[in-house]
């Protein structure tokens, strides 16, 4: 973290990685709507679809462009040309949907492209990264490169077990990771609180780690309707119960953190060079 910024990077945004132990827990929907809520409060927000080759953000909005983040990473287009505009001034780097991830395994991202990504990101206050689910190397790289990880879980045994395994893996790679647990599709605040308490106890006893309670998103029929209509839940009027909780979460994350301008290596530098530098 002592490395100096290059002169053309004015400051680096606070980054939050949204991840989960398994698919189907609403991770991408939360990432999108959290980003929209953060943008609604006046933050300059960049939403990065980090589920490379299996992108969902563009599908959730029904939008897309000629280029994707994979094109930018491989040098086929400038980063700015891959970006598309979303609701409330949100800017999105969408991912492809046809499984292209080969350059990631070969670490063929050129230093000039990493620098270009950092310069582009410096124009934002907050980076929200929608990662893939599970513990694949490329997912772990993205999560541990962020300033904070938000682990999404639902109140079902498989989701809880996979979330614990994911947290364990993340902490093995980065013991000082700031992590929070968000319970999605909870029937009640009591159910969510009980799940968090049990999860926090497991993390403390067996991993020696603390995980922040980031609250819960209630089971809400309007979520499915918004997804079908390809309209962010955060834009529904009046706000549904789930939208209200997303608004609260955005306030918690965006309040103090969005004003933080990091001075060390940025998110993209950490995510794209970690393995090349020999860090496990």
Beta strands per DSSP E along 192-247: 212-218
Mean pLDDT in the chain?
A: 89
Question: Token pair of 105, please?
Answer: 């395994």
pLDDT band at 179 (very low <50, low <70, confident <90, very high): very high
Q: Is 148 helix (H, G, I), strand (E, B) or coil?
A: strand
Instruction: For residue 128, list its beta bridge partners.
Output: 16, 47
pLDDT surpasses 90 at 100: no
d(CA 51, CA 193): 29
Give the phi and the psi of residue 142 in degrees, each rounded to 5.
-70, -45
- The pLDDT tens digits of the residues spanning 224-279 come to 999 999 999 999 889 999 999 999 999 988 655 555 555 578 999 999 985 444 44
Q: Is the bond preceding 15 in cis, omega lying within 30 degrees of 0?
A: no
Dihedral sign for Cα atoms in the order 130, 217, 15, 42: positive
d(CA 45, CA 31): 12
The closest of 210, 236, 205, 209 to 223, measured between CA atoms, is 236
- The pLDDT tens digits of the residues spanning 128-164 come to 999 999 999 989 999 999 999 999 999 999 999 999 9
d(CA 89, CA 190): 36
Half-sphere exposure of residue 212: CA atoms within 13 angstroms, side-chain side: 11
- The pLDDT tens digits of the residues spanning 218-232 come to 999 999 999 999 999
Instruction: For residue 47, list its beta bridge partners.
Output: 92, 128
The closest of 185, 116, 117 to 155, measured between CA atoms, is 185
Instruction: For residue 92, list its beta bridge partners.
Output: 47, 84
pLDDT of amino acid 117: 96
User: What domains lie within the chain, and their CATH numbers?
Assistant: 21-273 (3.40.50.300)
The closest of 48, 51, 270, 15 to 145, measured between CA atoms, is 270
- The pLDDT tens digits of the residues spanning 18-72 come to 999 999 999 999 999 999 999 999 999 999 999 988 899 999 999 988 999 999 9
Q: What is the reported pTM?
A: 0.91
């Amino acid at each position: 973290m002592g490395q100096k910024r290059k002169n053309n990077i004015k400051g680096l945004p606070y980054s939050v990685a949204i991840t989960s132990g398994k698919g189907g827990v609403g991770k991408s929907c939360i990432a999108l709507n959290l980003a929209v809520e953060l943008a609604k409060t006046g933050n300059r927000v960049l939403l990065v679809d980090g589920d490379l080759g299996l992108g969902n953000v563009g599908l959730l909005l029904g939008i897309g462009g000629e280029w994707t983040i994979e094109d930018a990473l491989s040098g086929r287009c400038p980063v700015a040309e891959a970006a598309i505009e979303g609701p409330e001034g949100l800017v999105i780097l969408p991912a492809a949907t046809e499984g292209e991830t080969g350059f990631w395994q070969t670490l063929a991202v050129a230093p000039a492209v990493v620098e270009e990504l950092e310069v582009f990101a410096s124009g934002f206050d907050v980076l929200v990264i929608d990662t893939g689910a599970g513990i694949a190397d490329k997912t772990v790289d993205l999560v541990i490169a962020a300033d904070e990880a938000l682990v999404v879980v639902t109140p079902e045994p498989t989701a809880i077990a996979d979330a614990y395994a994911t947290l364990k893996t993340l902490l093995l790679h980065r013991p000082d990771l700031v992590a929070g647990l968000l319970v999605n599709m909870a029937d009640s605040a009591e159910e969510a609180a009980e799940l968090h308490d049990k999860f926090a106890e497991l993390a403390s006893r067996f991993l020696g780690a603390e995980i922040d309670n980031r609250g819960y998103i209630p089971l809400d029929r309007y979520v499915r309707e918004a997804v079908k209509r390809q309209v962010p839940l955060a834009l529904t009027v009046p706000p549904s119960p789930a939208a209200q909780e997303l608004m609260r979460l955005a306030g918690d994350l965006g309040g103090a953190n969005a004003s933080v301008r990091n001075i060390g290596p940025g998110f993209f530098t950490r995510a794209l060079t970690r393995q090349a530098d020999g860090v496990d």
